[in-house]
Each structure stands twice: as C-alpha cells, then as structure tokens.
C-alpha cells in the first residue's frame, strides 16, 4: 500500500511521544509521569518486570486507556484520530474470532483499519501464502492448530502495512518456529522503515533486537535511550582476557578482582583504571593473548544496577543472568 | 462509520449463517404451518372415512334443527323409533358401519339431556359440537314457543353488543376477544424475542471479551462504536427473523385460514378467523416496541457481559436484567383483567415493562396518549441506560478475573 510508505518517508517527528503520562487504577499507580520519545524507524524495547506498567503504557499509546494526566501523541496525532488505523497492534492476550473463517477474520481486521474488503482479502491471501497457510483460508479459525492461529494473528497485525508496530510481549507463548517467523517479520518491517515498539521482560531478547530501550520499574522510568550508548555509559570496568602464559602480570594496581573462567580470566578494574594499560602489561609479560574484550554490561546488569537486586528478583529474572556476579 | 458498518456486517453475517438461526427461523413458520395443517389433515382423514351419525328423535321436533347445526361437519341420518331393533343398531355400531346413535327425548327439550351411544367417545371438538347443537336446538324450540322467532335466533347467534367510546377507537377491530388474544400473543412474543436477542448480545460481547479479541478491535474502534455495532448487528438478525416470521404468519393466515375454515366450518367462521390477522398499524407498533425494548435490554445485557469473565458468571449476573423482563410477563394476565386500572396504567408506563405490558394494553384499547407516553419514556430510558452501560462496557471489557462489586461499578461509571 503506497500511501503509507510514502507518508512514512515524509513524516517527521517521533512515532510516539508520551509527555508526563500517569495512569492510576483505584489506589494502584500503574504508570507514573512517564516521558517517552520513540524515534521513527527504530526498534524500541519497553522493558521491565511483570506488572511494571508496560501493558498499561502500550494501551495508552493505542488510545485503549486514557491517561489520567499527560498527553499521548501517536504518529503526530492524538489517539482519537485515524492514526490508530496506521498502527499494527498485537496485545499480549492475542484473541481470534474462533468461529469465523480465516479469510473473513482477516478481512474484518483489515476493514476496521480502513481497508476495503477486496484489498484486505488480497493482502491476506498474500500473507497466508507467505506463512504457508493458503489452503486454510476458507477453514474456521478454531480448526487451526495453536501455532497456525498465532500466524493468523501476526497477519492480522501487519495486514494493513502499518507505519508502526506495537507488540506487547510478542514472543511469549510462541513455539520456536513462530518466534523465528515473528522475528523475521519484525526485521523485515524494520528494513522498510516501519517503527517497531515492543515490550518484554526478557532482557536477552531485547538486547538482540532493540536499537533503543526504555527500562521501567514500578510504574516509573528508570532509564531510556540508544542501547549501545546506554551500554557504553554503563560499562562497569570489566575486561575479559583469554590467554596462554603465566599470571604474574595480573598482580597490578589497576586490578581490583580476578575471576577465573573456562578459557581465561575476567578482570574487574579499579575506578578510573584504563583497560588499555592492562592490555599492555599482559603483552609485555609475554603471554599469548587470544581474546581481549572490554565487557559491556548486559541489559539485566544495567537494570539491576539501577533498580536494585530486590526489584530484579521481583522481575523473576533468573540469577544465572548475573554473569558479572558481585559487580554491584 | 465504515468501521461500525464492518462490525455490524460481521455480527450479522456470522449469526444469520449459523445453523441455529436457520433452524430457528425455519422451525417457527413450520410450527405455524403444523398448527394450521394438522387439523385440516385430521379433518380430511375423518371426511374420508366419515360414517353416519344416526339420530333417533323421540320428540319429533328437534331433528331438523339438530341436523342443520351438525350438517356441515357430520353426516347425519334420521331413524324412527322402532325402525330398527336396538340390537341391530348395536351390531352396526360394532361393525363400524355407523359412528354412533344420538337419542333425543323429552329430557332433551326440558333440560338439554341426551344420550350418545358409540364404539368410542367422540373427539372433544365433536362433543362440544354435538352438545352445542343439542342445547341450541332445544333452546330454540322453547323460545319459539314463547316469542318471536327472529329475536330468538339473533340471541342464539350470540347477540350484538356495540361499544361506543368517548375517547375514540384505537382499532378497527370488531371482536374484542380476538384483539385481546392478538395482544397476548404480541406481548409474549415481545418477551421472548427481547430475552432471546438480549442474551445474544450478552453472548456476543462475552465471546469477544473471553477470547480477548476485543483488545485488538478497540485499538481501532471506539468501545462505544463497537457496542453500538454489536447491538445493531444482533438487532438486525432479530428483525430479519421477526420479519420472516411475520411474513409467514400473514401469508399463512391470509391463504391458509380460508382452507382451514373451508375444511372445518364448525370450528370458526372465516370473518372471525380473519380477526386474528394483525393489522398493519399493530405490526408497526409491535416492531416499535421490539426495537425500543431491544435497545434498552441489549444495552443492559452488554453491560452485564462486560462485567463478567466467563459464561457461568454471566449466567448469574444476568438474573436481575432477566427478572426485569419476566416480571411484566408474570403480571400480564392479572393486569389484562383490568387493563386500564391504576396498576395496569402505571406499570405499563415503566420503560422496562412497557413492551410486554403496553402492547397488549393497546390491543385492548388503551388510550393512545398512554401508548405514546410509554414510547417517549422508553426513548429517555434508552439514552440514560445506554450512557451508563456504555461506560461499564468501556471499562469492563478489558477487565479479567474477579467480577466487580457494586461500588466498583459505580466508580467505573464515574471515571470512564
């Protein structure tokens, strides 16, 4: 659909802008004074433990919930306009009309996004072919396996070639094949300039996919920005070295702690120490260096550093993620 | 608007194409046909093997009168006293040659007593018919003895009471009994259809909520639009079904009734039968009550569904709403004994009761201003109820888990 791709190129300003958004349910504050600026064309991760306010935030972006305070701008408009039709939204709880035929189900989802039925049907067939379900078009949705229903849900989300994809915990509950299918769809849309926002509590997934992230915990933003920059800023002064030779050089003033790994060591440097000097020491000590890496923290480590171990535990993250044990 | 149309279309087609709709819609008229056709078939079968009824008239003056009254329905044959020995007659009855013997004597003239002897007791309709013929004939003889023959016949034909009303007539019906019966049938049909389609709306909303598809839909469609679309979609299904039924009834009565009347003249005169065919104005008012009642109740049922997360929960929660529909149905009978009394007047003006109570009252001749007032009050009630229900719906469709308490619902309505 050309109209959306052309507007995608010409459009400026952020895809989503949240300004001081607050949402309360009774006495429970779900989102507190949240400011978000999601650049167009990015893959943006909304990260945080369960119950931290991710879903509420996404629902407010989609105009499903109204913020108590603050404003939401979606593709340059408020959420009452037609901007919502240019978004592909996949909620965490993904539903289908079980008793409808697959093709009619998709036609309906296209129609409510402003497509004509004929075009919706045409595009649905293309997508069904692409995902290997063309012969299921005339079957009822309830006759499909769960995995096939998930594919139908993906198609329903992207059928209208949205400018913005908003996916709430998109990978949860998917089998590995569909995880790959969805990831491919996401990367494909990203290549064509579509903005992608997704929430997850799985930090490694976010690390793999996202360009920018926002970490939230207990309704509040912890930090946000470009993922690489965040990591650079959050470097903890750790170096990984794999080498053959003797260990005497490790007894240096820069070194605070040494941890043996299978292939070498992990060295934690003192504050302000330069990793390059340690590298020089190693070389001058005559050891054969196989690997030298300034270790960047994982997202989980960044998260733990900012919200504390308690909140991380609350997030239900396995402690195995804490590769830099004791770094905090 | 296009979005609402898409919602209506989906809701409508999905239902109209379902096996239940087709079954229900076709079964209704078939049932009607059966009601009309079965007596015809039975009547025809009887006609084929019609055996004569022998009448032994010991009074000497009753036979002609009884025979003319029975003649349309039964083959009668006169026998004279002593013409045939009782034993021979019994033999003819036993062999199935004749259906029975009716003996009229002095007791018939004085007190309407008569004896029927046959292999088996005649059908209920025949018994009524024979009894009526015997009693009317005896009355006629005795009245003719006393006074003028024409007057006596007019009396025996049921007389004629003319009703003149200062407030004016609201119907062109001659027969108040037929109007009353049509009113009852209409009230009952309104109760049934409002209940059926109200529950359908509840199911539709609940289905979207429990399958969670609703979140995708309201990410584009406003909740108010979605609720409206669902109500209109299901309502269109209801109108389709009612339309098919109404058309079948009118066609059946118009073309079928003359058949029945011709086949069984003893049951009903054609003119009297046509009194049961609803008039255009009555149909229009019926539809108006259905549409308004449907908006009122479907909004309530939609709100009920939005509060619940499972079928079982909804079954319990819908009780108060359903009771609102059942109450007028239960008080319809007592109220129709005195339709324009204070109870009838005030209760039929309560918007939730109006469809079931006011339509039968209209048929019974209620003042038109009351009918009009009830319609206006219903419209007002719809606006209020839809507003409240819309707010409950908006919040409720995203809530999963525990059913909200009353204070929580009040908060939804205030804050939505």
Q: Tens of pLDDT along B66-123?
A: 888 887 667 788 887 766 666 777 788 877 778 888 888 888 888 888 988 887 777 7
Orientation angle between helical segments B176-210 and B354-363, nearest 10 degrees: 160
Per-residue confidence band for A2, with pLDDT thresholds at 50, 70 and 90:
very low
CB atoms within 10 A of CB B216: 25
Per-residue confidence band for B348, with pLDDT thresholds at 50, 70 and 90:
very high
Q: Tens of pLDDT along B359-369?
A: 999 988 888 89
Report the length, in residues, of chain A: 328
Tokens 């009920």, residue located: B304
- For residue B2, give Cα distances in angstroms to A97, A115, B92, B226, B288: 20, 10, 79, 12, 26
Q: Is the whole-model pTM more than 0.80?
A: no
B407 to chain A: nearest residue by CA?
Answer: A26
Rg (CA), chain B: 29
Give the H or E element holding residue A28.
Answer: strand A28-38
% residues pLDDT > 90 (chain A): 41
Please spell the DSSP secondary structure of A133-198, one letter per residue: -GGGTTSBGGGS-HHHHHHHHHHHHHTT--SEEEEESTTTT--HHHHHHHHHHHHHHHHTT-EEEE
Q: Tens of pLDDT along B135-176?
A: 888 888 888 776 676 777 777 777 777 666 555 555 556 667
Cβ contact A182:A130 at 8 Å: no
Give the H or E element holding residue A238.
Answer: strand A238-244
- What is the Cα–Cα distance from B282 to B288, expressed in whole angstroms? 10
Cβ contact A90:A168 at 8 Å: yes
| CA proximity to A165, closest of A176, A154, A178 | A154
Cβ contact A230:A236 at 8 Å: no
Collect all residues of chain B within an 8 Å Cβ-Cβ radius of residue A89. Answer: 216, 219-220
| CB pair distance less than 8 Å for A62 and B219 | yes
β-partners of residue A8 are none
Collect all residues of chain A within an 8 Å Cβ-Cβ radius of residue B207. Answer: 97
Touching check for A40 and chain B: CB below 8 Å? Answer: no
Per-residue confidence band for A323, with pLDDT thresholds at 50, 70 and 90:
very low
- What is the Cα–Cα distance from A66 to A18, expressed in whole angstroms? 12
A90 to chain B: nearest residue by CA?
Answer: B216
> Residue A326: what pLDDT?
32
| CB pair distance less than 8 Å for B219 and A84 | yes
Collect all residues of chain A within an 8 Å Cβ-Cβ radius of residue B211. Answer: 95-98
A56 to chain B: nearest residue by CA?
Answer: B398
Apex A24 CA angle, A19 and A29, nearest 5: 95
Across residues A196-220, what is the average pLDDT? 87
* 8-state DSSP, A244: E
> Residue A324: what pLDDT?
35
CB atoms within 10 A of CB B277: 16
Cβ contact A247:A78 at 8 Å: no
Helix (H, G, I), strand (E, B) or coil at A200: strand
Given a cut of 90, whether residue B375 has pLDDT beyond it is yes
- Residue A60: phi, psi to the nearest 5? -70, -35
Domains of chain B: 9-38+166-415 (no CATH), 52-156 (3.40.190.10)
Residue B401 neighbours by CB under 8 Å, 6+ apart:
B309
Given a cut of 60, whether residue B232 has pLDDT beyond it is yes
Tokens 């569904």, residue located: B305
> Residue A156: what pLDDT?
94
Q: What is the least distance, in Å, from the CA of A162 to any CA of chain B?
A: 12
Q: Tens of pLDDT along A78-112?
A: 888 788 999 999 998 888 999 899 999 999 999 99
- For residue A91, give Cα distances in angstroms to A6, A168, B35, B283, B316: 27, 5, 53, 47, 29
| CB pair distance less than 8 Å for A26 and B411 | yes
Mutation test of the interface with chain B: which of A28, A69, A95, A169, choosing the one with the most B Cβ atoms within 10 A?
A95
Q: Tens of pLDDT along B6-26?
A: 999 999 998 898 888 888 888
- Burial of B54: CB neighbours in 10 Å, binned 0-12, 13-18, 19+: buried
| CB pair distance less than 8 Å for A108 and B398 | no
- What is the Cα–Cα distance from A103 to A146, expressed in whole angstroms? 17
Q: Which of A26, A65, A89 sits opposite B216 (nearest CB)?
A: A89
Mutation test of the interface with chain A: which of B15, B216, B411, choosing the one with the most A Cβ atoms within 10 A?
B216
CB atoms within 10 A of CB A147: 12
Per-residue confidence band for B333, with pLDDT thresholds at 50, 70 and 90:
confident
> Residue A311: what pLDDT?
61
| Segment of A122-131, B36-45, B130-139, B235-244 carrying the highest mean pLDDT | A122-131
| CB pair distance less than 8 Å for B398 and A64 | yes
- What is the Cα–Cα distance from A111 to A257, expressed in whole angstroms? 62
Collect all residues of chain A within an 8 Å Cβ-Cβ radius of residue B213. Answer: 95-97
- What is the Cα–Cα distance from B301 to B147, expressed in whole angstroms? 66
Per-residue confidence band for A277, with pLDDT thresholds at 50, 70 and 90:
confident
| CB pair distance less than 8 Å for B215 and A95 | yes
For chain A, report the end-to-end CA distance as a whole number of angstroms: 50
Q: What is the least distance, in Å, from the CA of B258 to any CA of chain A?
A: 45
- What is the Cα–Cα distance from B298 to B279, expressed in whole angstroms? 28
Given a cut of 80, whether residue A214 has pLDDT beyond it is yes
Cβ contact A234:A302 at 8 Å: yes
Q: Tens of pLDDT along A224-233?
A: 888 888 888 8
Mean pLDDT of all residues belonging to chain B? 83
CB atoms within 10 A of CB B192: 13
């Amino acid at each position: 659909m050309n109209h959306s791709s052309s507007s995608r190129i010409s459009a400026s300003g952020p895809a989503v802008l949240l300004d001081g958004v607050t949402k309360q349910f009774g006495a429970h504050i779900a989102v507190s004074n949240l400011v978000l600026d999601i650049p167009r064309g990015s893959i943006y991760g909304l990260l945080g433990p369960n119950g931290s306010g991710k879903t509420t935030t996404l629902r407010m972006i989609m105009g499903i919930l109204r913020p108590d305070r603050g404003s939401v701008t979606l593709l340059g408009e408020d959420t009452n306009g037609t901007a919502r039709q240019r978004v592909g939204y996949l909620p965490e709880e993904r539903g289908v009309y079980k008793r409808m035929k697959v093709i009619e189900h998709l036609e309906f989802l296209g129609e409510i996004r402003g497509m004509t039925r004929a075009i919706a049907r045409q595009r649905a067939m293309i997508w069904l072919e692409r995902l290997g379900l063309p012969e299921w078009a005339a079957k009822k949705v309830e006759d499909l396996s769960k995995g096939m229903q998930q594919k139908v849900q993906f198609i329903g989300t992207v059928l209208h070639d949205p400018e913005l994809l908003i996916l709430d915990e998109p990978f949860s509950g998917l089998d590995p094949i569909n995880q790959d299918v969805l990831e491919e769809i996401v990367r494909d849309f990203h290549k064509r300039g579509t903005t992608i926002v997704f929430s997850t509590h799985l930090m490694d997934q976010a690390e793999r996919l996202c360009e920018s992230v926002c970490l939230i915990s207990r309704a509040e933003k912890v930090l946000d920005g470009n993922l690489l920059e965040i990591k650079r800023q959050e470097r903890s002064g750790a170096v990984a070295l794999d080498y053959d030779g003797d260990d005497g050089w490790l007894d240096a003033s820069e070194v605070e702690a040494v941890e043996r790994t299978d292939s070498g060591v992990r060295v934690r440097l003192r504050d302000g120490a330069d990793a390059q000097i340690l590298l020089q020491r190693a070389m001058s000590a005559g050891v054969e260096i196989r690997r030298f890496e300034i270790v960047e923290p994982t997202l989980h480590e960044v998260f733990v550093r900012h919200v504390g171990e308690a909140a991380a535990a609350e997030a239900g993250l396995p402690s195995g993620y804490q590769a830099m044990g004791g770094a905090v | 608007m296009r979005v609402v149309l898409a919602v209506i279309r989906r809701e409508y087609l999905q239902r109209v194409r379902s096996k239940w709709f087709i079954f229900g819609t076709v079964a209704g008229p078939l049932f009607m046909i059966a009601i009309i056709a079965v007596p015809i078939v039975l009547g025809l079968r009887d006609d084929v093997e019609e055996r004569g009824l022998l009448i032994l008239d010991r009074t000497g003056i009753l036979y002609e009168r009884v025979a003319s009254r029975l003649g349309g329905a039964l083959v009668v044959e006169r026998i004279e006293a002593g013409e045939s020995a009782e034993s021979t007659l019994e033999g003819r009855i036993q062999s199935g040659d004749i259906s029975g013997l009716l003996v009229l004597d002095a007791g018939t003239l004085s007190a309407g007593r008569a004896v029927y002897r046959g292999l088996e007791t005649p059908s209920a309709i025949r018994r009524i018919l024979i009894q009526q013929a015997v009693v009317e004939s005896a009355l006629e003889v005795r009245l003719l003895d006393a006074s003028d023959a024409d007057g006596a016949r007019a009396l025996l034909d049921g007389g004629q009471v003319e009703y003149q009303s200062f407030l004016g007539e609201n119907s062109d019906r001659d027969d108040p009994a037929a109007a009353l019966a049509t009113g009852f049938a209409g009230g009952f049909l309104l109760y049934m259809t409002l209940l059926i389609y109200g529950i359908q709306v509840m199911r539709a909303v609940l289905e979207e909520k429990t399958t969670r598809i609703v979140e995708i839909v309201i990410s584009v469609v406003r909740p108010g639009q979605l609720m409206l679309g669902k109500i209109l979609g299901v309502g269109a299904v209801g109108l389709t079904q009612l339309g098919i039924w109404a058309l079948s009834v009118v066609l059946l009565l118009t073309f079928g009734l003359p058949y029945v009347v011709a086949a069984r003249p003893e049951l009903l005169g054609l003119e009297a039968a046509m009194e049961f065919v609803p008039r255009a104005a009555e149909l229009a008012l019926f539809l108006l009550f259905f549409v308004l009642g449907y908006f009122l109740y479907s909004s309530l049922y939609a709100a009920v569904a939005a509060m619940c997360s499972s079928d079982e929960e909804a079954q319990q929660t819908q009780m108060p709403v359903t009771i609102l529909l059942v109450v007028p149905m239960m008080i319809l009978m007592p109220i129709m004994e005195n339709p324009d009394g204070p109870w009838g007047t005030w209760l039929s003006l309560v918007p939730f009761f109006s469809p079931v109570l006011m339509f039968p009252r209209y048929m019974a001749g209620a003042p038109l201003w009351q009918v009009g007032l009830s319609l206006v009050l219903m419209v007002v009630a719809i606006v209020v109820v839809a507003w409240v229900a819309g707010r409950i719906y908006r919040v409720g469709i995203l809530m999963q888990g525990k059913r909200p308490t009353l204070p929580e619902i009040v908060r939804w309505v205030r804050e939505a």
